[in-house]
Structure 1
Amino acid sequence: MGALRAQEIAPPEDTTIYRVVEAMPRFPGCENLDTTEAVKAKCAEANLLAFFYENIVYPLEARQNGNEGTVVLSFVVEKDGYISQPKIIKDIGGGCGEEALRVARGMNEALKNAGLKWTPGRKDGRPVRVAYTLPLRFKLEEPPDFVLIGRDTVYVVLDDTLGYQGGWETLRQDLDANLKFPKGYSPDSCFIGNMDLKALIYPDGFVKVVDVSDYFNLGPDFQFEAIRAVTSTAGKWLPAHRNGRPVTASIDLGVTFLPEGESCAQRRTDYETAQRLALEGSTLINEEKQEEGIAKLTQAIELFPQNAQYRYLRGQAYVNLRELEKACEDFRVVRQV
């Protein structure tokens, strides 16, 4: 009999998931550096954290509840340079763990699109599967004391808020007394509607209007008169303070043009009815009663079809109900106004 040749038998594939190996896996981006393995490992760790922090969106629920802390993920770095089995080891609630997991699940696709992959871990010179644990810090940023509006530094965190000489009722009386119908517009013309104005109040009492919301689309002549009424209050303000010094702060003020002529009585009634319906509708929407709120706002819109405020509120309710076509129609009217 001829001699039997020993068959070459391939060693069985190693499917073990290791926790520690001679060469741990590394996230891409550092392999071409002319440096030590230890420096490459540090670089890869920094790149991995950057990948997560650039893609994580702090969950709204976590922001509202103040959830902060460390989420811990684990996953397996496979021999082919991609990851598998991502899961949450430690969570802090508020959707933070789920958000970190979402980013982990999208990692392979992101790397493939960039033409990158992990450098797999190695044991005895061969690539092996390695478990990887990653802590991720979730921390809410402290809100700034101020914002920039144009060239103005406007403080939003205040020790003492704005005041008005004589109190807020005096402010309302002053605004009503200063508000006039534009020249050429008789009160009998029945122009009616309200505006909201954002004003900056400087430490010396100077007033500057930086935004006007003309909900009834009354036009520039009425907007000018509204601005004039607000700026006429200059010198009567008590400044806001931050860290012991007076600072510029903002305030939202509303004015209403109401015609007094007898011929406009029905117009005034319609306005008061529409405002009441809009308030009731907004309250219902805030109570998660979207359809009932929409019904109230629709009645208000029937009285004033081009009112941007009513349309915006109803559009938001339609968004909540996922009726996006109806929402877009309302928002189109808002943009036109």
Structure 2
Amino acid sequence: MKLPVASLLFLTAISFALLFSGSDAVAQSRSEKVYTVAEREPEFPGGKAALSHYLAENIRIPGSLVRRNYNTGPVAAKFIIDELGYVHDVRITTKPIDKKVQKGMQDFMTSIISVVEKMPRWQPGEVGGKRVSVFYTLPIEVNMR
């Protein structure tokens, strides 16, 4: 009976040693908070009109989607704007993708990610008068007309 308990303790000790050994296999975590709501939200240089213009000028809709007049449905870019105004961790959400237009939608999402990553620095969000990192969701409206 003592042997299984000793084995369990040994395995637990090894698990903790591996977990805290600084191995590259352990996931990295952000040490600062990332807010979902800030007292002052981040702002694109020039405001919402400038952001809309920037997106319209830079996002490319693949020809395959235009030819099919495909309704992309709701598309959103989700990312973090850090305390210096830089964009990080861009992700795209969309409706389920129809297999007929999968390649076109992948190209479209890649274009959005590229454009968002290349955005100029934002005015960062603030909480208590201090600049903070903020999660930001940017809905992207597509008009095929």
Whether 2:51 is the aligned partner of 1:48: answer yes
What amino acid sits opposite 2:57 in the alignment? E
Q: What is the DSSP-based 3-state SS (H/G/I as helix, E as strand, rest coil) of the residue aligned with 1:138?
A: coil
Which residue of structure 1 aligns with residue 144 of structure 2?
Answer: 140
Aligned partners of 2:77 and 2:90 also within 8 Å: yes
Aligned partners of 1:52 and 1:100 also within 8 Å: no
Aligned partners of 2:76 and 2:138 also within 8 Å: yes
TM-score normalised by length of structure 1: 0.30
Judging changes above 3 Å, is the alpha-carbon distance between structure 1 residues 27 and 110 closer, same or farther for their aligned structure 2 residues?
Answer: closer
Structure 2 Cα separation of the partners of residues 71 and 107 of structure 1: 13
Which residue of structure 2 aligns with residue 58 of structure 1?
Answer: 61
Match of residue 77, structure 1, among 81, 93, 114: 81
Q: What is the DSSP-based 3-state SS (H/G/I as helix, E as strand, rest coil) of the residue aligned with 1:140?
A: coil
Deviation at 1:85, TM superposition (A): 0.7
Q: What is the DSSP-based 3-state SS (H/G/I as helix, E as strand, rest coil) of the residue aligned with 1:118?
A: coil
What amino acid sits opposite 1:102 in the alignment? S
Deviation at 1:106, TM superposition (A): 3.7
Judging changes above 3 Å, is the alpha-carbon distance between structure 1 residues 48 and 123 closer, same or farther for their aligned structure 2 residues?
Answer: same
Deviation at 1:14, TM superposition (A): 6.3
Deviation at 1:135, TM superposition (A): 1.1
Structure 2 Cα separation of the partners of residues 18 and 101 of structure 1: 26
Which residue of structure 1 aligns with residue 41 of structure 2?
Answer: 24
Rg larger in structure: 1
Deviation at 1:92, TM superposition (A): 6.4
Q: Aligned residues: percent identity?
A: 27
Match of residue 99, structure 1, among 84, 103, 108: 108
Q: What is the DSSP-based 3-state SS (H/G/I as helix, E as strand, rest coil) of the residue aligned with 2:42?
A: coil
Structure 2 Cα separation of the partners of residues 47 and 131 of structure 1: 20
**RMSD of the TM alignment (CA)?**
2.4
Structure 2 Cα separation of the partners of residues 110 and 96 of structure 1: 21
Deviation at 1:98, TM superposition (A): 4.4
Q: What are the superposed Cα offsets for residues 57-116 of structure 1, whole Å, 9 maximum, x if unpaired?
A: 2212212332123311111111111100111122464434642443443445452xxxxx
Match of residue 124, structure 1, among 125, 128, 145: 128
Structure 1 Cα separation of the partners of residues 52 and 113 of structure 2: 11
TM-score normalised by length of structure 2: 0.65
Judging changes above 3 Å, is the alpha-carbon distance between structure 1 residues 77 and 100 closer, same or farther for their aligned structure 2 residues?
Answer: same
What amino acid sits opposite 1:52 in the alignment? L
Match of residue 67, structure 1, among 66, 70, 77: 70
Unaligned 5+ segments in structure 1 are: 1-12, 30-43, 112-116, 142-337
Which residue of structure 1 aligns with residue 32 of structure 2?
Answer: 15
Q: What is the DSSP-based 3-state SS (H/G/I as helix, E as strand, rest coil) of the residue aligned with 1:26?
A: coil
Aligned partners of 1:77 and 1:84 also within 8 Å: yes
Judging changes above 3 Å, is the alpha-carbon distance between structure 1 residues 79 and 101 closer, same or farther for their aligned structure 2 residues?
Answer: farther
Residue-pair matches, total: 110
- Aligned pairs for 1:289-300 within 5 A: none
Structure 1 residue runs of 4 or more that deviate by more than 2 Å after TM superposition: 91-111
Aligned partners of 2:90 and 2:116 also within 8 Å: no
Q: What are the superposed Cα offsets for residues 283-321 of structure 1, whole Å, 9 maximum, x if unpaired?
A: xxxxxxxxxxxxxxxxxxxxxxxxxxxxxxxxxxxxxxx
Judging changes above 3 Å, is the alpha-carbon distance between structure 1 residues 110 and 25 closer, same or farther for their aligned structure 2 residues?
Answer: closer
Q: Which has the higher contact order (CA 8 A, sep 6+)?
A: 2
Aligned partners of 2:92 and 2:113 also within 8 Å: no
Structure 1 Cα separation of the partners of residues 119 and 37 of structure 2: 26
Deviation at 1:137, TM superposition (A): 1.4
Deviation at 1:28, TM superposition (A): 0.6
